[in-house]
Structure 1
Amino acid sequence: MKRAVLSVAIVVGLAIGAAMPTSAIGLTQVTLTCDDGTTSTMVVDMDTLTGLTLSVQAMIDYPADLTCDMVQVPLPGGVVRIGGVAMASPGHNPFIVGGGRWQVPCGVITGGGGTSTGGSTPTSGGAPIQQSSDLIWVNVAVNFHQRDDGSFYGTLNETIPANQFCNGVPVGETHFTSKPEPSPPGCFGIDPSATNTAHVVSTVTQTSGQQQFPNGFGGFLAVDDQIHFSFTDNGNPGHQLVNDKLQGPPAPNDSTCVQDPVTKAVTATGNPPSFELLHGNITLHP
């Protein structure tokens, strides 16, 4: 009799396990609150949670006038029904959150090459710059999300830190802030040929600094300009075969991202970004 009861218990346990949605295992809910005025609630797995933590920290380490706080909370009762047909939880919309530092050739700043003084130079906030010959460091911070209605919100910022040189000439600090709303509308979409790559369109809302910010095409960014940017998430640092990649001002970008105003379907295509994010992390959730 005991053996029969034990057999029934095992069968019931296996049935419950089979009924549990695999997508519900190991998930947690996080709330991301950023100083651009946005708050986002997301349901993520542990790998994405780790990526978000690294991305938020990189915004602090390599400042670009955007920081976020992240709070992790257990999934509330009723959000995931164990044994149910499907999950009924919010927070599964696409997003990209990232921060860090990358390098571009001095030519995008000066219009033609240049060399640095080399060595380490302090910046006004953030980690010290180890400047390489003919290259300029650029800090980036991105916080892009899609709402349930298909619209987008968030911020994409970049800062070229001070105390850098091209051919012995100081570059000067410069910065831009951009947003995907309200008008003209921005865009955020996953490249169908590479699901770990996203292309975004954002509108410049503010510029500042000792010089104008290069747009990647021989000119400079101004308020109301639209910028195109691409990001590739190659996993979390320490587990990557190659670094995350990105491309946009001050380097050129030829990607496109268009949203149908009626269906809200997004078409995002372009060459994969070719610049490595040398410090920091990009977290892309398709």
Structure 2
Amino acid sequence: MKRALIGLVAVFGFTLGTALPASAGIETPIRIDCSDGDSIDLTVDLDTLTALTSSVAAINQSDTDLTCTLVQVSAPLPVVTFGSVAAAATSGGYVIGAGTVEVGCPPDFSTTFVGSFSVKMHTKNGTLRGSANLSVPSGACVPAGKLYSKPTCLVISPTTLGGGRAWANSFVTSTSGSYFASELGKTIGWGFEDNGPNGGTLTKDRWRVEEKPGSCPVPGDPRPDEFYTVMTGDLTVRP
């Protein structure tokens, strides 16, 4: 019986190895510490590490009062994958980045101004955490000001190019200036599209925010065909 059991294990192991070809990769444990008092612990592959480095740099260059530091907490680790099943735990979904967008001036939108956004949303210990901020500089066609919010909902859909699309809602906790004053205490909807590293490969990253809740936890609103192109900056979206 013992010999038969050993044989069964050997056959099963051989079958598993045949059905699920093994491949090896490198993953790096990192931590992103931000000025809102929140930190993100992730284990990422080298491509994602490059993308996050660019997205954190974009946050630090934005005029949204959010800054972050990416720290590599240990040496890269080899990870063996059998088929599509990894032998090590992977990180949960998140949206990290910042950028500038060109939007129309009210009331007829015939002229434009450039605004900034930053975002850091992730789930930690079962709780959605992070920040989503907006900024309008002085000298624009609308009054200068800033908006600060905390996420209340996040849903991410993978795409064939880049990291994916994400939809989120956030609750506005603070504002400055008259332009954003009416949004205080309200829930607003966000859309994000990661089209590859360095702000997009074939297509630039895209983004939108609306003065009402979006469809989250269901994808779709804000509508992707109404997203704005991110002029400068970078978004990293991972499901």
Question: Root-mean-square deviation (CA), in Å?
Answer: 2.9
**TM-score using structure 1 length:** 0.67
- How is 1:252-267 mapped onto 2 (pairs within 5 angstroms)? 255-258=214-217, 267=218
Q: Distance in 1 between matches of 2:79 and 2:47?
A: 22
Match of 1:174 in 2: 145
Runs of 5+ consecutive residues of structure 2 not aligned to the other structure:
1-16
**TM-score using structure 2 length:** 0.79
Poorly superposed stretches of 4+, deviation over 6 Å = 192-195
Q: Distance in 2 between matches of 1:19 and 1:73?
A: 31
Q: How high is the sequence identity, in percent, across the aligned residues?
A: 31
Match of 1:213 in 2: 180
When residues 76 and 237 of structure 1 are mapped into structure 2, their CA distance, relative to the original with a 3 A threshold, is closer
Match of 1:72 in 2: 72
When residues 19 and 281 of structure 1 are mapped into structure 2, their CA distance, relative to the original with a 3 A threshold, is same
Match of 2:118 in 1: 141
Contact 1:34 1:67 in 2 (8 A): yes
Which structure carries more strand by proportion? 2
Corresponding letter in the other structure for 1:147: K
Write the deviation string for residues 112-167 of structure 1: whole angstroms up to 9, x where unpaired. 335xxxxxxxxxxxxxxxxxxx1111111100001342x31000001011122x3x
Q: Distance in 1 between matches of 2:213 and 2:176?
A: 25
Query: Match of 1:146, SS?
Result: strand
Contact 2:81 2:87 in 1 (8 A): no
Query: Match of 1:26, SS?
Result: strand
Match of 2:39 in 1: 39
Runs of 5+ consecutive residues of structure 1 not aligned to the other structure:
1-15, 115-133, 181-185, 215-219, 259-266
When residues 178 and 27 of structure 1 are mapped into structure 2, their CA distance, relative to the original with a 3 A threshold, is same
- How is 1:76-91 mapped onto 2 (pairs within 5 angstroms)? 86-89=86-89
Corresponding letter in the other structure for 1:196: G
The CA deviation at 1:87 is 2.7
When residues 145 and 103 of structure 1 are mapped into structure 2, their CA distance, relative to the original with a 3 A threshold, is same
Match of 1:244 in 2: 205
